[in-house]
Amino acid sequence: MARRLGSTPFRELLPDSLSSDPSVRAAAAALDEVLDATTRAIPGVLLYARLAHDTGFVEPVAMLPPLARLSELSGGLARLPEAVLDHLAWQLHVEGYETAVDVAAKRQLIAGSLLLHRRRGTPWAVRTALEAALHVPATVQQWFEYGGEPYFFRVRLELGGAEIDEAGVTDAMRLIFDYKNVRSWLDCLETVTTRPLPVSIAVAGIMRTMNRVRLWFPPKPVPSGRVHVGLGSTRYSRSVIRPWTPPRPVPDLRGRIAFAIISQSRSIVCPKP
């Protein structure tokens, strides 16, 4: 009969010659609580499986069925605390680990450290390290892609609506020099900040109605020799459509047309080789 780890009492593992002894059965029952806690603590040592679970990396080899069952009994794989991440970064020799902006960035750098070490010195490694540590999209252009001098390259960081300070630029430069190859030189580091500035423009229709009252004389000849004087009114309407800029705050106008203006600022750092 198959026995499952984590759900089998210790006394059921004893042979019949021992399990029939009341003292041995009592000792086995006392050990169940200790062994159960130890068994449930086994998933805690699965550091790389927990790291893969936290970062979304696909594990190359699935966990063994007993370990998978123990993980389910323990409530799933727990997140790695930051102190454990620091030790793993030291063990795997993760370059640029100190530049990570948050704990999630540290997990990404550690999880991808083996692949980064394997492809170190390539544009892919520089771009991946920047995106993992700084959480911003990065672009690496080699010299032949923008008409520069041989063995030079450029790096562009899309910051969105955020800004980068001097410390952030220093961290980005450190990551670039950690993961680039030796023969390549950084031409410039460009950071781009883009902010949308919404401007609302509405189109309204204005209709004007004018009434004009005037005397009316009937045409000649006048029938029956009588003189008739009457009053008549003429009414006409005219519609004019003019552009109209609403006051601020903009009222809730249905069918309005809005245009967005984007403000973009750039900063370029060019180190000297």
Q: Is 92 exposed, middle or buried (0-12, 13-18, 19+ CB in 10 A)?
A: middle
Determine the pLDDT at residue 253.
45
142 and 39: one domain? Answer: no
CA–CA distance, 94 with 135 (Å, rounded to integer): 17
Q: What is the DSSP pairing of strand 152-160 with strand 185-216?
A: parallel
* Cα distances (angstroms) measured from residue 154 to each of 99, 127, 178: 20, 11, 15
89 and 50: one domain? Answer: no
> Which among 144, 164, 162, 163 is positioned nearest to 154, based on CA atoms?
144
Tokens 């993980």, residue?
A: 71
86 and 68: one domain? Answer: no
Tokens 């948050």, residue?
A: 102
**Domain residue limits at 14:** 10-73
Question: Which of the four pLDDT bands, split at 50, 70 and 90, describes residue 75?
Answer: confident
> Is residue 252, in this structure, part of any structural domain at all?
no
> Is residue 175, in this structure, part of any structural domain at all?
yes
Question: Which of the four pLDDT bands, split at 50, 70 and 90, describes residue 43?
Answer: confident
> Which among 182, 132, 118, 180 is positioned nearest to 155, based on CA atoms?
180
**How far is residue 162 CA from its own chain's centroid?**
13
Query: What's the mean pLDDT in 229-256?
Result: 52
Which stretch of DSSP H or E encloses residue 215? strand 185-216
**Which stretch of 88-92, 106-110, 170-174, 198-202 has the lowest confidence by average pLDDT?**
198-202
Query: What's the mean pLDDT in 6-24?
Result: 76
> Is residue 260, in this structure, part of any structural domain at all?
no
Each residue's pLDDT tens digit, 102-132? 999 999 999 889 889 999 999 999 999 999 9
What is the percent of the chain where pLDDT is above 70?
67
